[in-house]
Amino acid sequence: MPVLLHDTMSREMRPLLPRRPDGVYGMYCCGPTVYGPAHIGNFRTFTIQDTLRRTLEVSGIHVRHVRNITDVDDKTIRGAQAAGKSLAEFTKGWTDKFHHDCQALELLPPQVEPSAVAHIPQQITMIAALVARGHAYVAKDGSVYFKVCSCPDYGKLSHLDRSNLSTQSTNSAGEANDADEYERESAADFALWKSRKPEDGPNFWPSPWGEGRPGWHIECSAMSLEHLGATFDLHAGGVDLCFPHHENEIAQSECATGVKGFAAHWFHSAHLMVEGEKMSKSLGNLYTLDDLKAKGWSPMEVRWTLLSGHYRSPLNFTMKGLDDARSALGKLERGLDNLLTTAGFTRAEFLPPTTHETQTAWGRFLPAWEKLCDDLNVPGAFGEIFKTLSNPAKDLTAAREDISGLAKILYALGITPFAVKAEVAIPANIRELAEKRWAAKQAKDFQGADSLRNQITAAGWTMLDRKDGYDLKPGA
């Protein structure tokens, strides 16, 4: 069953199938700018991209996933200087942090993770090609700009009106867009190479146009060409990148290589809201994974929450949503436990699928898989999973088929049940009260047991009795 996905450029639902003869599906995702910790909005996009990649893999497609690291731009340079570190040292730290968070969120590592700094020669080569072909010009200060009017179909991705663009010299805030705007022939033109400025410090590279550094947009064009070729299957990013970043990438790449059809499919995911408001530093709602961990949420609960809405709709991220996710994950685990019992398996035997051959059983989870294949409908798939789980499997054989299907679905979603919960240290005094209460209960001293329960509750803990013992958890 092919995976169907909405394409931004054609605005159509299209099947995702490898175009290359070797069957490899090339997927390029705009990665993070490593000047600080990524926030959950960034991770919504990366989690959705990861889910698409996993879904393609389960459908039997061999994916080559490329996600770049932007390690040179205004923010990284400024950050490095503020931290008193070299650019490389500064971005290495934040890249490591990003990888750590990705791992916690079960994001599969891309096959290739190119760095912009490591691809400066390729960027220079591409800029030189653009200059040679008349698509770029060198300004007096040694900066190089892309000549938007030289690209007749500029705007085809975002469907923007070109005449409107060329007259626009201020942004929505009414500010001039660039200090060097007078260097440009047209306000719509954008920088390919930025000439060296004093504030860049030691961060400049030689080029045929003098010392400087690459513009932001050219990075992705050069890296996708290097690792996927002049045309490839899918390009992904957040909606905000649609214009101008992706539009510029198309123009640069197609004009530099002379090959039309840069990316066959454009995949954009909607933004994340927090508690009903746009995320911003001033509102103080720019959560990182660490912020949420500190509030007691597990990365898996965060992943579930990030996936709980369709990728093309804005998602309102709330603490209530995390709470819902926790309950839902618990329900999933209980349902899976039932299935494993019927199948005669232990939890340890529930493993992610190592191969994703389409002929292996889906059991009753085929409808859930069909949802996922239909424009990556994750909420729909969640619904189907729970609907199926609410009915017991008929027998051992049926349960085993179900488990095969569910394992593949959960792999595609990147949901790992039975994750080890964070062990909360129980204070000795609480432990002591609990022991006393348990003893009192065994002795049928219910008055004493109730009194001890009250003390435990007052101390901020909850004692949960089982037949053969008890559990303690923080909170009322």
Partner RNA sequence: GGUGCGGUAGCCAAGUGGUAAGGCCGGGCUCUGCAAAAGCCCCAUUCGUCGGUUCGAUUCCGACCCGCACCUCCA
Mark the segment that binds RNA (CB under 7 A) among 59-67, 221-229, 315-323, 406-414.
315-323
Restricted to residues 6-25, the positions that interact with RNA (CB under 7 A) are 11
Mark the segment that binds RNA (CB under 7 A) among 53-61, 206-214, 269-277, 353-361.
269-277
Q: Is 453 in the site for RNA (CB under 7 A)?
A: yes
The nearest distance, CB 22 to RNA, in angstroms, is 29
Quick count: other Cβ atoms within 10 Å of Cβ 179? 8
List the end-to-end C-alpha distance of the chain, in Å, as a whole number.
48
Nearer to RNA, 140 or 444 (CB): 444
Restricted to residues 356-375, the positions that interact with RNA (CB under 7 A) are 371, 374-375
Quick one: CA torsion of 140, 145, 150, 154, rounded to 10 degrees? -160
Measured N-to-C along each axis, helices 366-373 and 378-389 cross at an angle, to the nearest 10 degrees, of 180
Restricted to residues 85-104, the positions that interact with RNA (CB under 7 A) are none
Task: Work out the burial of residue 454: count CB atoms within 10 Å of its CB; fewer than 13 is exposed, 13-18 middle, 19 or more buried.
Answer: exposed
- The Cα-based distances of 41 to 216, 311, 364, 416 in angstroms read 21, 12, 34, 21
Helix (H), strand (E), coil (C) string for 158-183:
CCCCHHHHHHCCECCCCCECCCCHHH
The nearest distance, CB 254 to RNA, in angstroms, is 18
The nearest distance, CB 184 to RNA, in angstroms, is 9
Q: Is there a contact between 235 and 267 (Cβ–Cβ < 8 Å)?
A: yes
Give the chain's length. 476
Q: Is 377 in the site for RNA (CB under 7 A)?
A: yes
Restricted to residues 218-247, the positions that interact with RNA (CB under 7 A) are 237-245
Structure tokens at 155: 């705007």
Structure tokens at 169: 């010299």
The nearest distance, CB 270 to RNA, in angstroms, is 7
Q: Which of 100, 347, 387, 394 binds RNA (CB under 7 A)?
A: 387
Mark the segment that binds RNA (CB under 7 A) among 102-110, 116-124, 417-425, 458-466.
458-466
Q: Which of 2, 13, 446, 474 binds RNA (CB under 7 A)?
A: 446
In degrees rounded to 5, what are phi and psi of residue 28? Answer: -110, 125
Q: Which of 341, 358, 397, 462 binds RNA (CB under 7 A)?
A: 462
Nearer to RNA, 395 or 446 (CB): 446
Mark the segment that binds RNA (CB under 7 A) among 104-112, 126-134, 167-175, 344-352.
167-175
x/- string (CB under 7 A) for RNA, residues 44-83?
xx-----------------------------x--------
3-state secondary structure of 104: helix
Restricted to residues 105-164, the positions that interact with RNA (CB under 7 A) are 158-161, 164
Name 193's Cβ contacts closer than 8 Å, sequence gap at least 6: 124, 127, 142, 143, 144, 207, 209, 212, 213, 214, 215, 218
3-state secondary structure of 239: helix
The nearest distance, CB 462 to RNA, in angstroms, is 6
Q: Is 4 in the site for RNA (CB under 7 A)?
A: no
Q: Is 270 in the site for RNA (CB under 7 A)?
A: yes
Nearer to RNA, 355 or 447 (CB): 447
The nearest distance, CB 180 to RNA, in angstroms, is 12
Q: Is there a contact between 87 and 77 (Cβ–Cβ < 8 Å)?
A: yes
Nearer to RNA, 18 or 389 (CB): 389
Q: Which of 112, 187, 366, 419 binds RNA (CB under 7 A)?
A: 187
CA 373 to chain centre: 19
Mark the segment that binds RNA (CB under 7 A) among 79-87, 110-118, 345-353, 442-450.
442-450
Distance between CA 390 and CA 386 in Å, rounded?
A: 6
Q: Is 314 in the site for RNA (CB under 7 A)?
A: yes
The nearest distance, CB 178 to RNA, in angstroms, is 7
∠ CA 159-161-167 to the nearest 5 degrees? 145
Mark the segment that binds RNA (CB under 7 A) among 26-34, 106-114, 121-129, 415-423.
26-34
Q: Is there a contact between 214 and 109 (Cβ–Cβ < 8 Å)?
A: no
